[in-house]
Amino acid sequence: MGHNTDEPDIESIQTALRYLKALVQNPNEEYSNICKLMEEYIIHNCKHNIVEDSIDITPDTSRTIFYCSKCMKSFEKKSI
């Protein structure tokens, strides 16, 4: 994930969330809820910078995707 110098809270929570997800293989419900709250905070408070990109599905087929370059949330074209 990138550096969100204009949104230090988002960057800090992203870093903490990555560590939390890496620490526990089978989280209990409370642990999972903490991670979910952190994910929701990032989604709702990030000043999204939507990027359009193309990914290869097969050697002959690609698909256009849209995502935030700050929090990496993916978006459907119709919701942008």
Instruction: Say how many residues make up the chain.
Output: 80
Residue-wise pLDDT tens digits, 23-68:
988 999 999 999 999 999 999 999 999 999 999 999 999 999 999 9
What pTM was estimated for this model as a whole? 0.70
Do 69 and 46 meet the contact criterion of CB atoms below 8 Å apart?
no
Is pLDDT of 4 > 80? no
Expressed in percent and rounded to 5, the helix, strand and coil fractions of the chain are 45, 25, 30
